[in-house]
Chain A
């Protein structure tokens, strides 16, 4: 009981201290660019009303989800194909290295040209940025598969689909998850940027509107909301990761103990 209390104290001590410092340091602030934290929290509920949540926040998150899922499908598919063959890998590698190295936000203008400023453009932007870490990590994961297990699969003439599902994807999954984690944070960046550059609704657009409309407490509340979304998404990702990789973490822990 005391150890749980102690852990809770350790966990919350610094965040509470920092929030308290922000609260009191900004309490008397008359600078209208930096309103007091109390004011920001006060406008939070009215700013992010049910209407805004359904008309701005939800569409942003749905686009992010669709783009991220699309990038996962394309990225894992392409990664397995490229990683399975040495010739294909060597052939595609320089092009992939170049395409991956392009900072994804630089592609936003291209997608606006091609697809306009609607949902399709934003989903394409998110896919175009998220897909590279997933492809490259999947390639590495597929390449790094245990050769003994690969030979075993071949000796037992395990069917292609079964081999893909039970061996190739499974053994590459720690790498794929690493790629997906990088992709998620890029995806959030692109979700916001695509809306700041060109949109008529969405989270990024709304925050930008508050900024240009000099509604600074509302703007800061939007910054807070975006931060919260980032934190919640990374927590959700960790839950998913623990489910998918439970065998892997167990294996690692066992290896560590035996060492």
Chain B
């Protein structure tokens, strides 16, 4: 437990090689199995054809537009969810009475699947970006809110009492006592929310028909263009990988001072 990080820098090379080997094997299987007839090639095009379709897509303005739409919806929903989650979380979490009063409501609202709202949103807001934004914000907001509430509750009682004794203003109390404790939780919330917001963005495009990659996947599917369907799905996966990498980097960057990142004690 004391040495939770298994990878000293010297072992980085074989690790990266193994990972590349895994990716290569995966691509090779995707290439060989359909060609050998193990997987039906109509439904599983070989990897090389998917790659060609991907190159082809990148050349098309319609693809770049869809990519831009998806990224815009995703980042907007994430920003709204994170901003609202932090504000509401700190406001609710700072007062025990408010926290107790809202606990049951949060417990009821949070598990409501955001896709349940889709039919209602279509009739109220139409099939534009707003509907997709609402389901993405709804789903990712709870991820942030719950983490912030955990974080605010985790504030060291001694620090809280000290701030109280010194009569720190609410503003300063939040800045110097609540925020440093809450930040690791906020970063976890953002990482979870980024993945959830992407899922719901693609879902909205696919099911509601909001412009974006999800809609393009649906169009490729219904026009029988199987390789570009796979290529587009792969693009959504790459966005997801990018989101993970960026949020992890941001987490380390924002928490350089924190023991869990400095590795002084097991988190």
Residues of A within 8 A of B (CB): 10-15, 18, 33-34, 86-87, 90-95, 97-110, 112-114, 143-144, 146-147, 185-186, 188-189, 192-193, 196-197, 204, 207-208, 210-211, 216, 219-220, 222-223, 226-227, 230-231, 233-234
When distances are taken between beta carbons in the complex, the residues of chain B under 8 Å from A197 are 206-207
Measured CA separation A193–B124 after assembly (Å) = 19
Interchain CB contact under 8 A, B111 and A233? yes
Measured CA separation A237–B101 after assembly (Å) = 23
Tell me if B36 is interfacial: C-beta within 8 Å of chain A: no
Which one of A112, A147, A189, A193 has the highest number of Cβ atoms from chain B below 10 Å of its Cβ? A189
Interface of B is mostly: helix
When distances are taken between beta carbons in the complex, the residues of chain B under 8 Å from A223 are 116-117, 119-120
Interchain CB contact under 8 A, A189 and B207? no
Interchain CB contact under 8 A, B1 and A97? no
Interface size on B, residues (CB 8 A): 67
Interchain CB contact under 8 A, B207 and A193? yes
- Minimum Cβ distance to chain A for residue B10 (Å): 14
- Minimum Cβ distance to chain A for residue B78 (Å): 14
Interchain CB contact under 8 A, A220 and B101? no
Tell me if B180 is interfacial: C-beta within 8 Å of chain A: no
Chain B residue with the shortest CB-CB distance to A87: B18
Interface of A is mostly: helix
Interchain CB contact under 8 A, A98 and B237? yes
Stretch at the interface among B54-62, B102-110, B255-263: B102-110
- Contact flag A113-B221 (CB < 8 Å), given A103-B202, A106-B233: yes
Would you give 20 A-B contacts (Cβ < 8 Å), ordered by A?
A90-B18, A90-B22, A91-B22, A94-B23, A95-B22, A101-B237, A103-B203, A103-B240, A105-B203, A106-B206, A113-B221, A114-B40, A192-B116, A192-B118, A193-B115, A193-B203, A193-B206, A211-B120, A231-B107, A233-B111
When distances are taken between beta carbons in the complex, the residues of chain A under 8 Å from B101 are 10, 13-14
Interchain CB contact under 8 A, B1 and A146? yes
Interchain CB contact under 8 A, A114 and B43? yes
When distances are taken between beta carbons in the complex, the residues of chain B under 8 Å from A196 are 115, 118, 207
Count, A-B residue pairs, CB within 8 A: 167
Interchain CB contact under 8 A, A103 and B236? yes
Interchain CB contact under 8 A, A90 and B203? no
Chain B residue with the shortest CB-CB distance to A207: B119
When distances are taken between beta carbons in the complex, the residues of chain B under 8 Å from A93 are 19, 22
Interchain CB contact under 8 A, B206 and A108? yes
Interchain CB contact under 8 A, B22 and A106? no
Which one of A102, A104, A106, A227 has the highest number of Cβ atoms from chain B below 10 Å of its Cβ? A106
Interchain CB contact under 8 A, B1 and A92? no
Interchain CB contact under 8 A, A231 and B207? no
Tell me if B241 is interfacial: C-beta within 8 Å of chain A: yes
- Minimum Cβ distance to chain A for residue B166 (Å): 25
Measured CA separation A102–B233 after assembly (Å) = 7
When distances are taken between beta carbons in the complex, the residues of chain B under 8 Å from A230 are 111-113, 116
Neighbour of A226 across the interface among B6, B21, B113, CB < 8 A: B113
Interchain CB contact under 8 A, B22 and A110? no
When distances are taken between beta carbons in the complex, the residues of chain A under 8 Å from B43 are 110, 113-114
- Minimum Cβ distance to chain B for residue A213 (Å): 11
When distances are taken between beta carbons in the complex, the residues of chain A under 8 Å from B240 are 100-103
